Amino acid sequence: MQSSELETNKIRKDFPILTRKINGKPFVYLDNASTTQKPLSVINKIVDYYSLYNSNIHRAVYDIAEEATNAYELTRKKVCKFINANSPQEIIFTRNATEAINLVSYSWGRQNIKKGDLIILSEQEHHSNIVPWQILAKEKNAEIKYLKIDETGNLNLNELEFYLNNHNNAKLISLCHMSNALGNIIPIKKIIDLAHTYNIPVFVDGAQSVPHLTTDVTSLDCDFLAFSAHKMLGPTGVGILYGKKKILEEMDPFLCGGDMIKEVHKENTFFNDLPYKFEAGTPNIADVIGFSSALDYLNEIGMDHIRNHEIELTKYAIEKMSELKQMKLYGDINLQNRGGIISFNLGDIHPHDLATILNEHAIAIRSGHHCAQVLMEKLDVSATSRISFYIYNTKEEINIFINALGEAIRLFQL
């Protein structure tokens, strides 16, 4: 499939919400970094489960329970293949990427982080990749160091090498592959290779990268990876934790009860094998099954085509936005180093005010600190506006967005 307007218009027909009109105008959805819209194939997959074989999994032997179990586990196999993991046992279903990070912070962190140890993050992390480590560090009297970013949002890898050379107590590096606020793509493979020369594991927050870039955990050699189904055409309530099998086997469970047990006696319990050791209770069966269709949809298009389409849209949008003298853009200007995310401020219009104005034009954007207040402090702003693209966005929508910005400029007399 080619990244052309003709193909994009064909894709749009699969998304019912894109036919909506708001305030009498065609709906323009530019908040894909927050969550993506869902194609009919995903919606129908969930309806089919509830309509035809709704039952619990891993328990009963009657037909529809077997169907539900097989469909659920098929998704796990598809996720394994999608990120090129070695085994479906390395794929853990959680509620979201945030829970996946918390799982590792709790189960791995409390076994491996001790007083005086060092956890390395960066200034552009999402709160979900800061707060769990802060809590762990306070509990264990450990220390967190933040890799600084430059004015374009790129990491200082010399600083990382300095920490690794001069802190023999560094125990974990946890970084986003792509910033949710700036769209910057970091050289994660280079960082992992460097970390592993010091025997330091690396956790990759892939919430923004996995939906947009070809992801190969075997090639990356990352120790952990977290991402969410809802940012890649799938339902909400489904997160994925990838972990190397050897590491997962050595970790204690995060939640207890239900399907994570093998045997329970009065005095002790024997835990289930991977991946079920980390999947306590009845999971989000319907939405995991729905995610299967989202993966099929992305595979049919091809991740390379998705990436090329977003580069094309981002280039076009930045060119148009840069023509506005009141525009302040954030992030790397090199399109190969960024995803389809653009953070900006327009004159002295507060982002929330701008988002309200754009909503009158039926344009949905994000405004605020984007759960990245450490980054906002670095940029010396309280908030930014953000647009973000996916497979169904078009240059025509960008033109509508640019025209609406012009209306805001006139309204505020900038």
Q: What is the CATH number of the domain that holds 326?
A: 3.90.1150.10
Q: Do residues 30 and 388 lie in contact, with contact meaning Cβ atoms separated by under 8 Å?
A: yes
DSSP one-letter string for 358-412: HHHTTEE-EEE-TT-HHHHHHHT-S-EEEEE--TT--HHHHHHHHHHHHHHHHHT
Q: Do residues 298 and 232 lie in contact, with contact meaning Cβ atoms separated by under 8 Å?
A: yes
Residue 410 lies in a domain: no
pLDDT score for 162: 93
Q: Are residues 233 and 345 in the same domain?
A: no
pLDDT score for 4: 46
Which residues are the active-site residues? 371
Query: Which mean pLDDT values do the consecutive 10-residue runs of the chain (414 residues) have?
Result: 63 97 96 98 98 94 96 98 98 98 98 97 96 98 95 88 90 98 96 97 98 98 98 98 97 86 82 88 96 98 96 97 96 92 96 97 96 91 96 97 96 86
Look at residues 249, 274, 299 and tell me which one is the last residue of a structural domain. Answer: 299
Residue 412 lies in a domain: no
Measured in degrees and rounded to the nearest 5, phi and psi for residue 155 equal -75, 150
pLDDT score for 83: 98
Measured in degrees and rounded to the nearest 5, phi and psi for residue 397 equal -65, -35
Q: What is the CATH number of the domain that holds 263?
A: 3.40.640.10
Look at residues 273, 299, 325 and tell me which one is the last residue of a structural domain. Answer: 299
Residue 411 lies in a domain: no
Name which of 341, 305, 365, 390 is nearest 39 in CA terms: 390
Q: Which residues pair with 21 in a beta bridge?
A: 26
Residue 413 lies in a domain: no
Q: Are residues 80 and 118 in the same domain?
A: yes
Q: Are residues 258 and 382 in the same domain?
A: no
Q: Are residues 282 and 387 in the same domain?
A: no
Return d(Cα 107, Cα 253) in angstroms, integer: 6
Q: Are residues 71 and 200 in the same domain?
A: yes
pLDDT score for 12: 97
Number of domains, the chain? 2
Domain, as residue range, for 368: 5-39+302-404
Q: Are residues 154 and 254 in the same domain?
A: yes
Name which of 344, 350, 290, 337 is nearest 317 in CA terms: 344
Q: Do residues 152 and 333 lie in contact, with contact meaning Cβ atoms separated by under 8 Å?
A: yes
- How large is the greatest C-alpha to C-alpha distance in the chain, in angstroms? 74
Q: Are residues 325 and 285 in the same domain?
A: no
Look at residues 299, 332, 360 and tell me which one is the last residue of a structural domain. Answer: 299
pLDDT score for 138: 98
Residue 272 lies in a domain: yes
pLDDT score for 3: 42
pLDDT score for 382: 93
Other beta carbons within 10 angstroms of residue 406's beta carbon come to 11
pLDDT score for 64: 97
Residue 348 lies in a domain: yes
